[in-house]
Structure 1
Amino acid sequence: MIEALLVLNAGSSSLKFQVFGYQRLTVLAEGKVVRIGAEAHLSARAGTDALNRDLTIGADHEAALKAVLEFIDLHDDNWRVRGVAHRIVHGGTAYTEPVLVSPQVMRDLEALIPLAPLHQPHNLAAIAASEQLVGNVPDVACFDTAFHAHHDERFSRFAIPRDLHDQGVRRYGFHGLSYAWIARELAQHHPRLHGGRVIAAHLGNGASLCALSGGKSVDTTMGMTALDGLPMGTRAGAIDAGAVIYMMRDLGMGIEGAETMLYEQSGLLGLSGLSNDVEALMTSTAPDAAFALDYFALKVAQFAAALATSMGGLDGFVFTGGIGEHAEPVRRAVMNHLRFLGNFEVLVITANEEREMAIQSRAVLAQADQEGL
């Protein structure tokens, strides 16, 4: 019998998974379902065996998880799942550490859906589906906001009245599981840099930067929601709040129209008028494609300079995420903009949110075992 840990990372249209051996965290199986809700496709491997197959058109997250579990069952080499770890984008102020999921935890996290409408519903749907399909094993919630939970108030407040801040209108920050992994990798493989001042750039369809000092989050570009900061694949990033008021009041956009525009029609897609896919933009000859990439690189550099100010300098810059790892022209453009900051080390570190979740969840399950929960 091999004890195992299942890690699920549910996005708005994707579901990534890994099965780890519980003791050594060796990868037993891994894969992902992409284009959930449309032409869903599963790619997975276990050992030397690989599978690629289309799912039913329009398959939802529950159907995606069912397909993942069917693959796991076919390759189950006497595994016993000890727990299921879930990525949760928003934990608010209440959840600053990974926790065992309970009915009360679920109610609290459902209340945060308006702050992460593209992600939180799917994160929670994966928990509900796993409870039905995996069986009676504990679920662990791992939070993207937790890594930033201890920011100095200068970096967590908006310039609004205190009573609104106390009601939760504040900066939280996201991509914390990715940044926690970067900090862990720096501590293990680049200890000198880990002790210094580093900007980590998680660049993908969702994008943000994090200022790390001594491996701890000092400041980050995202705010109350995952909409603020850098322009992203389809999200606008930072925008004058007065512009949003104008579009709603004077252009008749309405709340739902504004939300759809800001979350789903903006960013690289809105700038280029073509695509939110950086590879497609890099191969396009359209002037607006080049403009979108130039704009993105400039904004990354501008926000990075601001984060360097938050730390009082810069010793290293780490790229991670799909764009950060694979789009070398974008990395080069960002670095060209930042040459004025002087010399600093530049690294590319592969994102591994799933392993970070496994490490966090194993600690939670071990503590629960000690307490007899």
Structure 2
Amino acid sequence: MGNKLFLTFNAGSSTIKIGVYEHLNEAIKQVAFVRVNLHQHPISLEIQKGLETRQILLKARLTEGLHEVIDELFGFFESELLLDKLYAVGHRVVHGGDLFLGPVILDQKKMAALEDLIPLAPLHQPQALFIIRAIERLRPYLKQTASFDTAFHQTQASAVRHYAIPEKLFHAGIKRYGFHGLSYQYIQSYLSEAFPGPANSKVIIAHLGSGASLCAMDHGMSQDSSMGFSTLSGVPMETRCGDIDASAVLYLAKEKGMGMEQIAHLLYQESGLLGLSGESGNTRDLLMSNTPGAHLALDVFTLRIAGEIGRMISTLNGLDVLVFTGGIGENQAEIRSRICAKLSWLGIELDSKLNDQTPISHQIVSSKESKVKTLVIPTKEEDIIAKQLINILHDRK
């Protein structure tokens, strides 16, 4: 086939990451990367093309359906990036439930099924669906595909996926799904190429960013994850609480008179590192702060992550490789150091010179004496979306 272009959309709660890819014969190449900052006013684009990085301010208003933003984005792309050859768009969709076990070409029936899953991922699912609907209305000729964060975790055992509640509720959908699957799939793919030995061993990946989770893999397949039923669960995050006793939620409703929307806002937007510190959910800010709240937030964050790694070791029955990824995992040596210090009983030992290098790219940061190989690998979810788009549109296995 000839030279064609396609886009990947990775929608978060406050940003949209867009990959611009060229499909030439059998090769796929990213030619530009765009980050849309929705919470800045005016909305801004950061565009990376080759060695050039520049910022563009949009005129569009931020509306719920994102139509104005998407319309201006496509207008910009078509004039600046020559997207007249654009033929498809691939999307990261956080929740596929047990209905979507791999990437799909989107149609009205599938969209309806994805909309039914919004209550399971209220922070992320709507954003992706808004973008899909906006593109459908503004550029109806474009094919659209969806790749799912939950699909990678379908290999987990039944015992891992179950909560200790009546079985009928499991069949009603209350189960552990796991998330950040596209990130974990990218790391697994990279490991298999660069470190084939470790890729086939017992691996725990810590995807640490504003959303944070961990995944335990054996021979490249997901065996366990810290997130369960929703993206709220697991370790503490920037503004999300992570695991909390269900009775505490019942207490807030019954004794404190809080409504469901109030509780949801508290747990999703006012908790985590922000709630603990009382000043910021950003680990960079907290590392520079000397307040008791900042110290507490970082202690809880790193303790819970180390504890989750310990729990996952029992699932794997051992640990050979620990990988840090995500914005925090890739860029903050102090966080990595604090987590690994709490895991010294495993024989994990970082090489401080390697760990402190900035920036780190695809690098081993453990010492030669360490019993667990520890790496930093930047994630590229967009590459997985791109590969899945090409495979499904061209019927590749």
TM over 0.5: yes
5 Å-filtered alignment, 1:110-149, equals 110-149=115-154
Deviation at 1:79, TM superposition (A): 5.1
Rate the CA distance shift 1:312–1:48 in 2: closer, same or farther, 3 A.
closer
The one-letter amino acid paired with 2:145 is: V
Report the equivalent of 1:103. 108
Which residue, out of 45, 51, 54, partners 1:42? 45
Aligned equivalents of 1:286, 1:202: Cα separation in 2:
26
Residue 90 in 1 paired to residue 95 in 2?
yes
The one-letter amino acid paired with 2:122 is: P
The one-letter amino acid paired with 2:306 is: A
Aligned equivalents of 1:30, 1:241: Cα separation in 2:
41
Aligned equivalents of 2:98, 2:81: Cα separation in 1:
39
Rate the CA distance shift 1:39–1:281 in 2: closer, same or farther, 3 A.
farther
Let me know the Cα RMSD of the aligned residues: 1.7
Report the equivalent of 1:347. 375
Residue 298 in 1 paired to residue 298 in 2?
no
Report the equivalent of 2:11. 10
Deviation at 1:54, TM superposition (A): 2.8
Are 1:317 and 1:345, in contact at CA under 8 Å, matched by a contact in 2? yes
Report the equivalent of 2:367. none
Aligned equivalents of 2:132, 2:210: Cα separation in 1:
23
Are 1:7 and 1:358, in contact at CA under 8 Å, matched by a contact in 2? yes
Aligned equivalents of 2:243, 2:29: Cα separation in 1:
40
Q: Structure 1 stretch 217-226 or stretch 276-285: which is displaced more?
A: 276-285
**CA offsets 1:271-325 (integer angstroms, 9 cap, x no match):** 1111111111111222211221121011100001001110000001000000101
Deviation at 1:38, TM superposition (A): 5.2
The 3-state SS of whatever aligns with 1:141 is strand
Aligned equivalents of 1:27, 1:57: Cα separation in 2:
26
The 3-state SS of whatever aligns with 1:26 is strand
Report the equivalent of 1:315. 320
Report the equivalent of 1:274. 279
Report the equivalent of 2:365. none
Deviation at 1:58, TM superposition (A): 5.0
Which residue, out of 51, 54, 62, partners 1:51? 54
The 3-state SS of whatever aligns with 2:394 is helix
Are 2:61 and 2:69, in contact at CA under 8 Å, matched by a contact in 1? no
- Counting matched residue pairs gives 369
Deviation at 1:150, TM superposition (A): 2.4
Rate the CA distance shift 1:20–1:241 in 2: closer, same or farther, 3 A.
same
Are 2:78 and 2:84, in contact at CA under 8 Å, matched by a contact in 1? no
Report the equivalent of 1:334. 339
Aligned equivalents of 2:331, 2:39: Cα separation in 1:
23
The 3-state SS of whatever aligns with 1:6 is strand
Which residue, out of 199, 214, 221, partners 2:219? 214
Which residue, out of 204, 207, 227, partners 1:202? 207
Q: Structure 1 stretch 131-140 or stretch 45-54: which is displaced more?
A: 45-54
Aligned equivalents of 1:328, 1:59: Cα separation in 2:
35
Residue 367 in 1 paired to residue 395 in 2?
yes
Percent identical pairs in the alignment equals: 39
Aligned equivalents of 2:280, 2:62: Cα separation in 1:
23
Aligned equivalents of 2:87, 2:60: Cα separation in 1:
32
**CA offsets 1:318-355 (integer angstroms, 9 cap, x no match):** 00000101111000000001111121000000010001
Residue 26 in 1 paired to residue 29 in 2?
yes
Aligned equivalents of 1:245, 1:348: Cα separation in 2:
40
User: What TM-score results when the alignment is normalised by the length of structure 2?
Assistant: 0.89
User: What TM-score results when the alignment is normalised by the length of structure 1?
Assistant: 0.95
Deviation at 1:40, TM superposition (A): 2.2
Deviation at 1:190, TM superposition (A): 0.6
